């Protein structure tokens, strides 16, 4: 009987390549805890995200590679994930415990940016990741309504804010500090001071992803925010009509100027499906997101329909990804989240 060694197993798995990274799994340190019991081999495959679109392909390739070793009769593979900390984050304002930060931005208001941010965060959390949401839209905070939570923020004895929690996610918004009808009437310096407090003065704990809902637009406040906040990457939300796309292109240029990687574009309110005849109507024009994607070489992450269930979910504090995860609308958000997680996982490895 052939004696199977760990070196043989690692050698076999060293021939399994990650197609996105162009490197083998052993070099990428994705193979852990190799164990051999006679003719049985077990090991762990540690992905950079459970949302990896190539998960099944990599699993099959690993099993086949080890089965090809003479004498192996059984292969037991366990797949897990460990989200890496982004090297994109500048040292000047690292957020303790937060591995990756995702800015969700729009060139203008009214395109459903907060809806995308909340459902993106929820879809990431459903992969098993630890997720937080920071609402920096200080003049129009929507997180309390969209998450259905209206409690004041508390502080630790060290005077750090304690995020609220719902659906397994940590939440911070100025809306938790004001009642629904009280406006925030502050000038720029005070606004920036509050944003910095939300970043480094919050007991976030350990997070794989912090989704940051930015204010709409590309003015001084937004530019200062993206220069101050340590960002792994940005998601741009737009609608298909020209007036929204023009502003979305400005947002793309802003992130390029401050050297923040753009993970992609989400085209929201892309089309309407009639509930009676199932006919599709492109109310806000057609193809704008794809044209912008092609023009600026930025991926089109997905198209979200204009649908009453998405709106009702946000208004009732039950985002669609939580309320109806099997729906076509939820699947659109889930696919976007999977793509975002996959892109982040390879930013520093490519």
- 54 lies in the same domain as 176: no
- 41 lies in the same domain as 131: no
Query: Which tens digit of pLDDT belongs to each residue from 72-84?
Result: 999 999 998 888 7
More confident residue, 295 or 129: 129
More confident residue, 168 or 3: 168
Please give the pLDDT value at position 179: 64
- Whether residue 350 is predicted with pLDDT greater than 50 in this model: the reply is no
Which letter does DSSP use for residue 207 in this model? B
- What radius of gyration do the chain's Cα atoms show? 22
303-326 b/e (C-beta count within 10 Å ≥ 16 → b):
bbbbbebbeebbeebbbbbbbeee
Please give the pLDDT value at position 253: 87
**Segment 15-35 mean pLDDT:** 87
- 11 lies in the same domain as 111: no
- Is residue 142, in this structure, part of any structural domain at all? yes
- Is residue 34, in this structure, part of any structural domain at all? yes
- 57 lies in the same domain as 165: no
In which band, very low, low, confident or very high, does the pLDDT at 282 lie, cut at 50, 70 and 90? low
- 190 lies in the same domain as 70: no
Query: Which tens digit of pLDDT belongs to each residue from 244-258?
Result: 677 888 888 888 888
Q: How far is CA 66 from CA 8, 36, 70, 81, 112, in A?
A: 9, 11, 9, 21, 48
**Segment 224-246 mean pLDDT:** 80
- 106 lies in the same domain as 205: yes
- Whether residue 181 is predicted with pLDDT greater than 70 in this model: the reply is no
Name the 3-class secondary structure at 345.
helix
CATH label of the domain that carries residue 113: 3.40.50.300
- 47 lies in the same domain as 193: no
- 253 lies in the same domain as 328: yes
- Of 24, 58, 81, the last residue of a domain is 81
**Segment 206-234 mean pLDDT:** 83
More confident residue, 199 or 171: 171
Name the 3-class secondary structure at 100.
coil
Separation CA 188–CA 113 (nearest Å) = 22
Separation CA 274–CA 70 (nearest Å) = 59
- Whether residue 311 is predicted with pLDDT greater than 60 in this model: the reply is yes
Number of domains the chain contains: 2
CB atoms within 10 A of CB 278: 7
- 142 lies in the same domain as 175: yes
In which band, very low, low, confident or very high, does the pLDDT at 283 lie, cut at 50, 70 and 90? low
Element (H, E) at 296: helix 288-296
**Segment 301-319 mean pLDDT:** 79
- 22 lies in the same domain as 102: no
- 77 lies in the same domain as 96: no
- Whether residue 322 is predicted with pLDDT greater than 90 in this model: the reply is no
- Is residue 1, in this structure, part of any structural domain at all? no
Q: Which structural domain, as residue segments, surrounds residue 45?
A: 6-81
Which of 100-109, 171-180, 259-268 has the lowest average pLDDT?
171-180
114-118, 224-228, 286-290, 344-348, range with greatest mean pLDDT: 114-118
* pTM of the complete model: 0.80
Query: Which tens digit of pLDDT belongs to each residue from 103-131?
Result: 998 877 778 889 999 999 999 999 889 99
- 172 lies in the same domain as 268: yes
Q: How far is CA 28 from CA 161, 219, 341, in A?
A: 37, 41, 17
Query: Which tens digit of pLDDT belongs to each residue from 46-68?
Result: 988 777 777 888 999 999 999 99
């Amino acid at each position: 009987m052939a004696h199977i060694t760990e070196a043989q197993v690692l050698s076999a798995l060293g021939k399994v390549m990650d197609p996105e990274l162009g490197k083998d799994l052993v070099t990428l340190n994705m193979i852990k805890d190799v164990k051999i019991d006679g003719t049985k081999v077990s090991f762990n495959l540690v992905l950079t995200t459970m949302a990896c679109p190539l998960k099944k392909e990599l699993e099959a390739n690993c099993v086949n590679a080890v089965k090809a070793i003479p004498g192996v009769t059984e292969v037991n593979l366990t797949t897990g994930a460990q989200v890496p900390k982004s090297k994109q984050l500048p040292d000047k304002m690292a957020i303790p415990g937060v591995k990756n930060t995702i800015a969700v931005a729009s060139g203008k208001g009214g395109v459903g940016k907060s809806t995308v941010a909340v459902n993106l965060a929820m879809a990431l959390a459903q992969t098993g990741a630890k997720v937080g949401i920071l609402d920096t839209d200080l003049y129009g905070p929507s997180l309390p309504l969209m998450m259905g939570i209206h409690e004041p923020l508390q502080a630790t004895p060290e005077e750090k804010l304690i995020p609220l929690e719902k659906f397994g996610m940590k939440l911070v918004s100025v809306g938790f500090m004001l009642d629904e009808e009280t406006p925030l009437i502050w000038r720029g310096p005070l606004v920036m001071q509050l944003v910095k407090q939300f970043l480094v003065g919050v007991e976030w704990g350990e997070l794989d992803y912090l989704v940051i809902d930015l204010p709409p637009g590309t003015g001084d406040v937004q530019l200062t925010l993206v220069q101050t906040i340590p960002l792994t990457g940005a998601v741009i939300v737009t609608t298909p009509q020209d007036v929204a796309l023009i502003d979305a292109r400005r947002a793309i240029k802003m992130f390029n100027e401050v050297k923040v990687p753009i993970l992609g574009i989400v085209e929201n309110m892309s089309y309407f499906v009639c509930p009676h005849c199932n006919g599709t109507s492109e109310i806000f024009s057609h193809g704008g997101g794809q044209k912008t994607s092609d023009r600026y070489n930025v991926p089109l992450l997905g198209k979200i329909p204009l649908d009453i269930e998405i709106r009702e979910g946000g208004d009732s504090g039950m985002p669609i990804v939580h309320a109806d995860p099997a729906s076509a609308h939820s699947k659109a958000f889930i696919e976007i989240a999977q793509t975002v997680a996959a892109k982040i996982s390879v930013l520093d490895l490519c």
